[in-house]
Amino acid sequence: MVGTRHLLGLALDDCGVVATELCIRGGRPEIRRTGELSWDREFSSETVVELGHRLRQFLREQGFTAKKAVVGLAAKWILAKEVEAPPATPEILAGMLSIQAERAFSLNAEELVFDYCGKTSTSQKSQVLLLAARRQIVDQVKELVAAAGIQVQSITVSAFACGSRTSENGSACRYGLYTRPTYCEFWAQTNGSPQFIKHIPLGVNGDPCGYAGLLTTAIQRQILLSSRQDQAPHHVAAFDACGLPGETLARLNERLGPNQISVRDGRSGLLAAGVRIPSGVEANQGVVAAAVALTGVGPERPVVDFLNPRIGEEKKADHKRFFVGAAGVLAVCLIGLGLWLLDWQNDRRDIAAYKQQLADMEKDLAVAKDVVARLTYASSWGATDPRFLCCLREITQAFPEEGVVWATSLALNESGVGSVVGKLTNESSFYEVFDKIDRNPAFTNTKLIHIRDVGQNSREKEFAISFTFKGVK
């Protein structure tokens, strides 16, 4: 039918895929059907083609007809870090952020695909979120969708697709929650721009009350670590993709306290975007996949797209612009060369005189260097600040003896602002360390800077904490 097209949203993780088909007629999207396929084997390079064939069969059996798809990745497969972007045009900024991205993540840059999200400016600095997906995962996703007989339109992040459905009122919906049977994803955004995202394993728990308890702990902890504790009440939009009972949201609000944290159904964002949900269509399960598909409906590109990234994408050369620019550069160089030649003769005479002065001062300079070295060595002992030792003692007392969390460096300046960097193998033990430091009256302004993977095959993670040391009374 003229004016009608179908688009598939695939919310993908290593457990399976949730699919939602949108029918866009007259610019208005409608959810046609939803479904979920669980993998019966590990999602890997060796199985991806076979899983793609299974996906193809599943879509055919469930009546899906769309031939194009937007794929949403789980947060488990991406790395994220908030950085400061300088004022620049998008083309220049992409090059600058590419350099930052290569330095921000511990993995080899050749193993990653980079992108960023956030509102930038040509006149002032801005905060953006650098993102990296493992190139192997991106290639596997493309291979999976191709084996399913579908053309992939873009590869985004499922959670951020949900966040884009609440961006019209960033101050009213600052946080987002995406639930799956064994994990959840939690993110924050300001004025529609994502600031962080966290993958949180929950374990298998069939009891709705127990599941609500796990979600409550996860939400409280992430808001505590987000450095926005003073901005209550906090609003969380929840996107369910595991079939939670209807009373789960009510349980969450009871446990969290409506005056502190309120949780609402994220489906309202889909309805606000004009998405029709016909009766008889199970939209609870497919709401996230629907949000993923919606990122491919309008003229704007998804907030993140690892298939067409803004960092590292090849630009077509504009030969005319190149030659015009080159001519301008050449003219500037010729003018500079002429000015340099005028001063060259005078500079030669000055250089000869300076060389003679340096030769005369060489002996005196050697004596002065020796005196400075001795004074520097002595002052390092005399200027030792006992506050550093006190701070070190308080920090050390917060760490466990079993060695699952340890510090690698500690810094403290004259104003008492410091940081501790270290590694961990047990995330729960790390949060206990963080809580001890945060509750210690010797410290204020305790903030988690980051927790990130050390390497692809390493169990270790790196962390960094900042604080202000007041001292022990």
pLDDT given for residue 1 in this prediction: 44
Domain shared by 151 and 215, yes or no: no
Domain shared by 184 and 77, yes or no: no
Band (pLDDT 50/70/90 cuts) for residue 374 is low
Show the domain range for 7: 1-165+278-315
Domain shared by 434 and 451, yes or no: yes
Domain shared by 127 and 51, yes or no: yes
Element (H, E) at 270: helix 267-272
pLDDT given for residue 381 in this prediction: 39
Residue 209 lies in a domain: yes
Q: Give the percent of the chain with pLDDT over 90.
A: 30
Domain shared by 44 and 151, yes or no: yes
- Say how far apart CA 141 and CA 139 lie, in whole Å: 5
Domain shared by 282 and 239, yes or no: no
* Beta carbons within 10 angstroms of residue 19's beta carbon: 29
Band (pLDDT 50/70/90 cuts) for residue 380 is very low
Average pLDDT, the chain: 81
pLDDT given for residue 300 in this prediction: 81
Highest mean pLDDT among 85-89, 139-143, 255-259, 452-456 belongs to: 139-143
Residue 303 lies in a domain: yes
pLDDT given for residue 382 in this prediction: 40
Residue 292 lies in a domain: yes
Domain shared by 255 and 213, yes or no: yes
> Which of the pair, 403 or 285, is modelled with greater confidence?
403
Rounded to the nearest 5 degrees, what angle is found at the Cα of 170, between the Cα atoms of 169 and 176? 110
Residue 65 lies in a domain: yes
pLDDT given for residue 25 in this prediction: 86
- Say how far apart CA 147 and CA 17 lie, in whole Å: 15
pLDDT at 333 over 60: no
Residue 250 lies in a domain: yes
Contact of 462 with 448, CB cutoff 8 Å: no
Band (pLDDT 50/70/90 cuts) for residue 378 is very low
pLDDT given for residue 227 in this prediction: 59
Contact of 7 with 69, CB cutoff 8 Å: yes
The CATH number for 67's domain is 3.30.420.380
Domain shared by 86 and 142, yes or no: yes
pLDDT at 16 over 80: yes
Q: What is the DSSP letter of 180?
A: -
Least confident of 60-74, 86-100, 121-135, 320-334: 320-334
User: Can you tell me whether residue 207 is helix, strand or coil?
Assistant: coil
Residues 6+ away with beta carbon under 8 Å from 282: 34
pLDDT at 106 over 80: no
* Beta carbons within 10 angstroms of residue 284's beta carbon: 17
pLDDT at 357 over 50: yes
Q: Of the residues 198, 232, 265, which one is the last residue of a structural domain?
A: 265
pLDDT given for residue 284 in this prediction: 65
Domain shared by 46 and 111, yes or no: yes
Domain shared by 207 and 226, yes or no: yes
Band (pLDDT 50/70/90 cuts) for residue 324 is very low
pLDDT given for residue 360 in this prediction: 65
Q: What is the DSSP letter of 457?
A: T
Number of independent structural domains in the chain: 3
- Say how far apart CA 293 and CA 17 lie, in whole Å: 13
Least confident of 87-101, 230-244, 317-331, 406-420: 317-331
Domain shared by 156 and 9, yes or no: yes
Of the candidates 209, 183, 210, the residue with the CA atom closest to the CA atom of residue 197: 183
Work out the average pLDDT over 278-304: 81
Residue 377 lies in a domain: no
Work out the average pLDDT over 370-377: 54
pLDDT given for residue 319 in this prediction: 43
Work out the average pLDDT over 357-363: 66
List the structure tokens of 25: 């007629």
Band (pLDDT 50/70/90 cuts) for residue 256 is confident
Residue 134 lies in a domain: yes
Residue 39 lies in a domain: yes
The CATH number for 418's domain is 3.30.1360.100
Q: What is the DSSP letter of 276?
A: B
> Which of the pair, 384 or 159, is modelled with greater confidence?
159
The 10s digit of each residue's pLDDT in 304-313 is 999 999 887 5
Domain shared by 190 and 250, yes or no: yes
DSSP states of 85-114: EPS--HHHHHHHHHHHHHHHSSS-GGGEEE
- Say how far apart CA 177 and CA 162 lie, in whole Å: 9
The CATH number for 177's domain is 3.30.420.40
Band (pLDDT 50/70/90 cuts) for residue 226 is confident
